Amino acid sequence: MTVSSILSQPTSVWTTYESVRSWSIKICEPLHAEDYVVQPSMDVSPPKWHLGHTTWFFENFILVDHLEGYEAFDSRLNYFFNSYYESQGPRILRSNRGNMTRPALETVLEYRSYVDQHMKQWLTQYEGTDLPPDLKNLLIIGLQHEQQHQELLVTDIKYILGNNPLFPTYKVREVAKTNAPSKPTAGFISVTEGIYKVGYDGDGFCWDNEHSAHKVYLHAYDIQNRLVTNGEYLAFIEAGGYEQFEHWLSEGWEWTKALAFKAPLYWFKEGTDWFHYTMQGLEKLDPNLPVTHISYFEADAYARWKGLRLPTEFEWEVACKQMYTEIPQAGNFLEEGHFHPIAQQDERDYQFLGNVWEWTGSAYLPYPNYPRLKGALGEYNGKFMVNQMVLRGGSCATARSHIRPTYRNFFQTDKRWQFTGIRLAR
């Protein structure tokens, strides 16, 4: 059930707001004070910044304009917690977020509490009635935005801890659900040639980049019935895949030559044994788990090595919709708390939703009749539609209520700190 559908239920809107917001704090509970400030890469933001930025979003876009008499907690925080909104004034450079020893964590938590109290006051005005459509949409966007940052919190925390030479444990896994009873054989799902509708075509919330729903023609194709595993990717490494230029795009070949260690992010080799860093610390590589933390370059090179290819985002979406009529409750999402991919459980577990974001062969571009929004929210997706590739499906750090088959994620071709993986097509 999505956030927008939950807000349509009889339950209090405040209950939904509080439930979503609480996950940000829950994700940070295992951290030490020092972990909140670290920024080992420009792609990564300190956890303290995420907690402040998601709070700033509600204050800046809802409370300041829609709660009469509201006084900002501290107007100086706008400079710290604005991310990339040109319309909202100057901001700290993204690469400098880790220099932010102040405001202290205690102050950021007070900021969250202050804004939450005033959000409750604002929402109380509408108890027993429906929020006006424009305000309801603002609230939903704020909650969806927070869920996006909860996923970033997980992946940024992993990068912070995974680049510590002590390889600290984030949290001991309470339930081990990573090993499959047996290794299901990889196969392919066939999709017939035809004209298909893609994009979001419902009444609930979706991001602007999922509009507008339109028809596409697809040739007949096959798409793999599960994700590529660690063991399968290891075969590529051991066959010299990183040393064979013919598998790589030109830019990818230059990228891989600069790698300090030619393997997915967080992989290590000691003697003849392979290990990878997980949120439970350094663990021996499980060959049955989906490979993750790889770049588009690596995904594309692996597919070429196999004599196959990555699916287009439309091929992926059509196949996913044929496999699922709803989000699988057994999927591996944020709520499960594994924060790592799990093995395919049986041949009916197609792994399309949850586990890892799947690289597609599609550039991130606007759909026909893409609604170019004005104002601050117009800066959310549209201005990034260049030099990026589309990923689909969500990951083990994505909230179940946040994902859908039409969701379009996007990253540059070299990025791999997110839970990114591979599904093959032909």
The per-residue pLDDT for range 256-265, each reduced to its tens digit, is 999 999 999 9
Question: What is the enclosing helix (H) or strand (E) of 280?
Answer: none
The domain that holds 225 is classified in CATH as 3.90.1580.10
Would the pLDDT of 132 be above 70?
Answer: yes
Whether 240 is covered by a domain: the verdict is: yes
pLDDT in tens, 68-107: 999 999 999 888 888 766 666 777 787 888 888 899 999 9
Pair 149, 252 in one domain? no
Would the pLDDT of 204 be above 80?
Answer: yes
Whether 70 is covered by a domain: the verdict is: yes
Pair 153, 205 in one domain? no
Q: Which residues neighbour 80 within 8 Å (Cβ) at sequence distance 6 or greater?
A: 49, 52, 91, 92, 100, 103
Pair 93, 240 in one domain? no
pLDDT, average across residues 327-341: 93
pLDDT of residue 363: 98
Would the pLDDT of 181 be above 60?
Answer: no
How many angstroms separate the Cα of 79 from the Cα of each of 19, 104, 398? 28, 15, 28
Q: Among positive and negative, which fits the CA dihedral 353, 354, 360, 366? A: positive
pLDDT of residue 130: 84
pLDDT band, very low/low/confident/very high, at 329 (cuts 50, 70, 90)? confident
pLDDT, average across residues 243-266: 97
Looking at 277-281, 343-347, 415-419, which range is the least confident one? 343-347
Pair 299, 155 in one domain? no
pLDDT of residue 174: 61
Single-letter amino acid code for the residue at 216: V
Whether 228 is covered by a domain: the verdict is: yes
Pair 150, 197 in one domain? no
The domain that holds 65 is classified in CATH as 1.20.120
Here the tokens at position 164 are: 């510590």
* Full residue range of the structural domain in which residue 278 is found: 188-421
C-beta separation of 291 from 422 below 8 A = yes
From 128, 147, 162, the end of a domain falls on: 162
Question: What is the enclosing helix (H) or strand (E) of 56?
Answer: helix 47-58
Whether 79 is covered by a domain: the verdict is: yes
Would the pLDDT of 16 be above 80?
Answer: yes
Whether 306 is covered by a domain: the verdict is: yes
What mean pLDDT, rounded, does the chain reach? 92
pLDDT of residue 11: 64
Report the percentage of the chain scoring pLDDT > 70. Answer: 92
pLDDT of residue 180: 55
Instruction: Give the integer Cα–Cα distance in Å for 65 and 142.
Output: 14
pLDDT of residue 392: 98
Pair 152, 205 in one domain? no
pLDDT in tens, 145-165: 999 999 999 999 999 999 999
Would the pLDDT of 375 be above 70?
Answer: no
More confident of the two residues 100 and 373? 100
Whether 307 is covered by a domain: the verdict is: yes
Pair 107, 194 in one domain? no
Would the pLDDT of 347 be above 60?
Answer: yes
pLDDT of residue 421: 98
pLDDT band, very low/low/confident/very high, at 129 (cuts 50, 70, 90)? confident
pLDDT of residue 377: 64
Would the pLDDT of 114 be above 90?
Answer: yes
Pair 155, 194 in one domain? no
Whether 175 is covered by a domain: the verdict is: no
Model pTM score: 0.94
Pair 155, 209 in one domain? no
Whether 176 is covered by a domain: the verdict is: no
C-beta separation of 150 from 22 below 8 A = no
Counted domains in the chain: 2
Pair 315, 379 in one domain? yes
How many angstroms separate the Cα of 11 from the Cα of each of 22, 94, 124, 399, 407? 17, 38, 13, 20, 26
Pair 157, 212 in one domain? no
Instruction: Give the integer Cα–Cα distance in Å for 355 and 328.
Output: 12
Pair 198, 69 in one domain? no
pLDDT band, very low/low/confident/very high, at 179 (cuts 50, 70, 90)? low
More confident of the two residues 57 and 129? 57
